[in-house]
A and B are shown apart, each in its own frame.
Chain A
Amino acid sequence: EPEVTQTPSHQVTQMGQEVILRCVPISNHLYFYWYRQILGQKVEFLVSFYNNEISEKSEIFDDQFSVERPDGSNFTLKIRSTKLEDSAMYFCASDNLLDTQYFGPGTRLTVL
């Protein structure tokens, strides 16, 4: 069965550093998403991406965040200057709009 993959599984960084979280969506999917889940809290929508541009973003997705599809397979989330409160599990997802949304296993980001 096709699956969404994410790397790394765990990223530790110092406050103020830039991090890039990587995702490989399912190959024939056109819509891509990032969500985050702070430990013990609910899953929160960050951004959706289609046709090389952001479709929708939440208030969490401020200027510190950016997304990119640098090639035909990867979908990345960049946090320019990490803060302690960015520590969370970040999930990538993909689908073909209103079809089943497949989630990756997540990247646990720890900001020290």
Chain B
Amino acid sequence: AQSVTQLGSHVSVSEGALVLLRCNYSSSVPPYLFWYVQYPNQGLQLLLKYTSAATLVKGINGFEAEFKKSETSFHLTKPSAHMSDAAEYFCAVSDLRGFKTIFGAGTRLFVKA
């Protein structure tokens, strides 16, 4: 069975500060990992994905994430937060078949001016 745990339901940073959103996964098979962003009243947009190639994955809007197998982590980072980054972020995992994606509970990012 697969699962995802996102540490911190709310994260608040100042504009220009580092963004770090934490995600740990559990999977009995090599995982595929994803980060999605959801703006208010909108659908899900893929930020980036890890599919067993490079462990450091770069995504859209300046975000990146590093797959660390030893720590079963896939934390999302951005060097400098922008007001437009304020949204809900979901970490997700699927298996190699890809039929089913399991989402974490989400982390709401607040960006202070």
Contacts and interface: CB of A to CB of B under 8 A. Distances in A.
A66 interface: no
B42 A42 contact: no
Nearest to A42: B105
Interface in B61-105: 90, 92, 96-105
B46 interface: yes
Interface in A10-35: 31, 33, 35
Interface residues of A, number: 25
Nearest to A54: B99
Contacts of A35: 101, 103
A101 B36 CA distance: 10
A97 to B, nearest CB: 5
A7 to B, nearest CB: 14
A56 B43 contact: no
A101 B43 contact: no
A104 B43 CA distance: 6
Interface residues of B, number: 23
Contact of B105 (A41, A45, A97, A106): A41
Contacts of A58: 100
Interface string B23-50: 0000000001010100000111110010
A103 interface: yes
A22 B50 CA distance: 30
Task: From B42, B98, B101, B105, name the one whose CB has the most chain A CB atoms within 10 angstroms.
Answer: B98
Query: Which A-B residue pairs are the 9 nearest by beta carbons?
Result: A43-B103, A103-B44, A56-B99, A48-B99, A98-B98, A105-B43, A55-B99, A42-B105, A103-B43
23 contacts: A31-B98, A31-B99, A41-B105, A42-B103, A42-B106, A43-B44, A43-B90, A45-B102, A56-B100, A91-B43, A91-B44, A95-B98, A97-B97, A97-B98, A97-B99, A98-B32, A98-B96, A100-B49, A103-B36, A103-B43, A103-B45, A105-B43, A106-B42
